[in-house]
């Protein structure tokens, strides 16, 4: 389950920034996660819940912004919403599609006190 | 804190062993100093917009710079367990070791078995045992490549942990990514595990010697893979019989040359 290493990275980013600001704890954290980023939100939450008690995010409210994926067809230039990376172009059936959006995995912001 | 379960104990040690040398065990180096902080009376928001894998990606770029400076061609080999990564490497080492200097970084959760096979084939090898970890990361490669003392103008094969999911997200600083499918798996592996195929440059379809005995349709498999990544190039081989291996060597040496 790679989500644990993802969570450890998230905690390291958040804690290092909070410490720079001399904060004692993090009260909120906002993440951007794309639907085709390769991160399972349920696995992410599960991994986070199992380690948060020993981090500065112990009592933090976590907001996850799910970024819906969008693809473009390289043949007919049609842009469409998608749930995966292998859907054929709904307009011309081409498989030459590329993801425009939905691969995001970011710590957007933290709130400290 | 370790990356495999978030623990702070020693159960999940990363172990690196250059074949033929004494092993060295160390925990992944994460420091957790929770020092004294001054109380702040008001809360404030810090905008970060930081990629979650930023740390790994930065290290991967460092590895990439190291490889480029030494003119090393590195290839990250990913597949499910049992698709024939090690057999492909053994055959490749046997056939190419007199033409080009080859090194192998072997990723497995446990055992030195693969390193032993590679050493017997005739290439310097370091075994990275990830404990419970499901993938290699840029930090492990950074350490492994230094321990291996890789010479200039060589090829480094990085055999990732057999897993079609987790390795795909972690940039190691490699020059190219190779995904291996084998004819004993389902044709629909590329759409079941799309991320790994999406991020690959080349796809080897192994065990073609078994095609007469299986219901595997190679064109269906390629078609699925192309739906995920239409830039993917295919090479069909049998690492056991040697069929198709010349094409693989040609592609490999061409990629190495193009990098120069």
| Unique residue bearing structure tokens 């460092």 | B62
Is B248 within a domain? yes
Is B24 within a domain? no
* ipTM of the complex in this document: 0.91
Mean per-residue pLDDT, A1-8: 88
Is B173 within a domain? yes
**Under 8 Å between Cβ of B193 and B83:** no
Query: Is pLDDT at B229 greater than 80 in this prediction?
Result: yes
Is B116 within a domain? yes
Beta carbons within 10 angstroms of residue B31's beta carbon: 6
Domain that holds residue B255: 54-259
Q: At what angle do helices B245-259 and B85-96 cross, to 10 degrees?
A: 70
With an 8 Å Cβ cutoff, are B45 and A111 in contact?
Answer: yes
Rounded to the nearest angstrom, the minimum Cα separation between B231 and chain A is 9
B198 contact residues in A (CB cutoff 8 A): 85
With an 8 Å Cβ cutoff, are A6 and B53 in contact?
Answer: yes
Q: Which domains does chain A have, with CATH numbers?
A: 3-68+102-112 (3.30.2320.50)
With an 8 Å Cβ cutoff, are B46 and A112 in contact?
Answer: yes
Residues B177-188: pLDDT tens digits?
Answer: 999 999 999 999
B166 touches chain A (CB under 8 A): yes
At residue A113 the predicted structure's pLDDT band, cuts being 50, 70 and 90, is: confident
Q: How high does pLDDT run on average in chain B?
A: 90
User: Residue B13's pLDDT is what?
Assistant: 73
Strands B24-26 and B125-129: unpaired
Residues B125-137: pLDDT tens digits?
Answer: 999 999 888 999 9
CATH value at residue B245: 3.40.50.300
Query: Is pLDDT at B9 greater than 60 in this prediction?
Result: no
Is B135 within a domain? yes
Is B1 within a domain? no
Residues of chain B above pLDDT 70, percent: 88
At residue A29 the predicted structure's pLDDT band, cuts being 50, 70 and 90, is: very high
Is B20 within a domain? no
Residues A43-72: pLDDT tens digits?
Answer: 999 999 999 999 999 999 999 999 999 999
User: Residue B31's pLDDT is what?
Assistant: 46
Is B87 within a domain? yes
What are phi and psi for residue B72, nearest 5 degrees? -100, 130
**Under 8 Å between Cβ of B235 and B218:** no
User: Residue B42's pLDDT is what?
Assistant: 74
Domain count along chain B:
1
Residues B10-34: pLDDT tens digits?
Answer: 445 788 999 888 766 655 444 444 4
Q: What's the distance, CA A45 to chain centroid?
A: 11
């Amino acid at each position: 389950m790679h989500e644990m290493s993802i969570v450890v990275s998230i905690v390291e980013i958040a804690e290092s920034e909070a410490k720079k600001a001399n904060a004692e704890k993090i009260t909120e954290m906002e993440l951007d996660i794309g639907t085709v980023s390769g991160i399972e939100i349920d696995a992410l939450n599960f991994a986070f819940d199992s380690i948060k008690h020993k981090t500065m995010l112990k009592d933090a409210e976590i907001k996850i912004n799910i970024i819906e994926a969008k693809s473009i067809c390289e043949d007919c230039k049609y842009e469409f919403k998608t749930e995966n990376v292998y859907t054929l172009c709904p307009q011309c059936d081409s498989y030459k599609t590329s993801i425009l959006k939905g691969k995001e995995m970011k710590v957007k912001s933290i709130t400290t006190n | 804190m370790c990356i495999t379960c978030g623990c702070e104990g020693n159960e999940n040690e990363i172990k690196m062993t250059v074949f033929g040398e004494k092993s060295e065990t160390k925990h992944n180096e994460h420091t957790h100093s929770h020092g004294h902080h001054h109380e702040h009376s008001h809360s404030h928001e810090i905008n970060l917009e930081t990629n979650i894998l930023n740390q790994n990606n930065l290290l991967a770029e460092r590895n990439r710079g190291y490889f480029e400076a030494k003119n090393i061609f590195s290839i990250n080999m990913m597949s499910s367990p049992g698709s024939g990564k090690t057999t492909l490497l053994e055959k490749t080492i046997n056939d190419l070791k007199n033409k080009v200097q080859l090194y192998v970084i072997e990723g497995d959760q446990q055992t030195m078995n693969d390193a032993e096979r590679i050493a017997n084939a005739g290439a310097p090898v370091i075994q990275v045992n990830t404990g419970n970890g499901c993938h290699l990361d840029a930090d492990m490669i950074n350490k492994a490549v230094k321990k291996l003392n890789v010479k200039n103008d060589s090829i480094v094969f990085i055999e990732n942990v057999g897993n079609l999911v987790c390795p795909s997200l972690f940039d190691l600083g490699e020059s190219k990514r190779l995904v291996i499918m084998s004819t004993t798996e389902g044709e629909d592996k590329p759409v079941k595990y799309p991320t790994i195929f999406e991020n690959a440059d080349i796809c080897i379809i192994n065990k073609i010697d078994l095609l007469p005995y299986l219901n595997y349709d190679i064109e269906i498999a390629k078609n699925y893979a192309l739906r995920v990544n239409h830039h993917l190039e295919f090479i069909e081989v049998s690492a056991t019989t040697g069929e198709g291996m010349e094409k693989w060597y040609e592609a490999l040496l061409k990629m190495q040359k193009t990098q120069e």
